[in-house]
């Protein structure tokens, strides 16, 4: 639930940033969602492969037996719930996906304001 609220807020922030830059806010909101979810998935892989490989037999996930896969999945959930740092690491990866899109948006040029020629301003002072 927290991830959905966080994703909604971060998507809104990036879409407003894109709107201020004169870009399509729906496209940049979609890119934020894709980047957030991709980074979340990468974070899950990193945590499972780096921190949980000693507790859970990862090779059993490729088994054809659904009972074995269900047991390994249950072990993964138990390991992730036992240590809150694992969940925090996954969330930080996801926020990194948002920050990547924000960095790209910040490097885009601002929306140009129309320039007023100096001769058009001459009549304003009278």
What are the tens digits of pLDDT across the range 25-56?
999 999 999 999 999 999 988 988 888 777 77
Is the pLDDT at 61 greater than 90, yes or no?
no
pLDDT for residue 126 is more than 80:
no
Q: Are 25 and 16 in contact (CB under 8 A)?
A: yes
Instruction: DSSP for 60-124, please give it.
Output: GGG-S-HHHHHHHHHHHHHHHHH-HHHHHHHHHHHHHHHHHHHHHHHTSPPPPPPPPPGGGGGGG
Q: How far is CA 18 from CA 25, 81, 94, 112, 113, in A?
A: 5, 37, 20, 14, 16
Does 22 score more than 80 pLDDT? yes
Inform me whether the pLDDT recorded for 125 exceeds 60.
Answer: no
pTM of the predicted model over 0.85: no
Residue 120: the pLDDT is: 67
């Amino acid at each position: 639930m927290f991830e959905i609220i966080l994703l909604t807020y971060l998507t809104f922030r990036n879409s407003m940033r894109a709107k201020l830059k004169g870009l399509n806010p729906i496209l940049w909101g979609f890119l934020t969602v894709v980047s957030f979810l991709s980074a979340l998935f990468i974070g899950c892989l990193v945590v499972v492969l780096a921190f949980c490989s000693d507790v859970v037999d990862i090779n059993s996930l490729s088994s054809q037996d659904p009972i074995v896969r269900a047991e390994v999945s249950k072990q993964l959930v138990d390991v992730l719930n036992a240590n809150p740092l694992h969940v925090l690491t996954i969330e930080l990866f996801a926020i990194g996906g948002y920050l990547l899109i924000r960095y790209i948006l910040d490097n885009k040029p601002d929306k140009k304001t129309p320039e007023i020629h100096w001769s058009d301003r001459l009549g304003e002072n009278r």
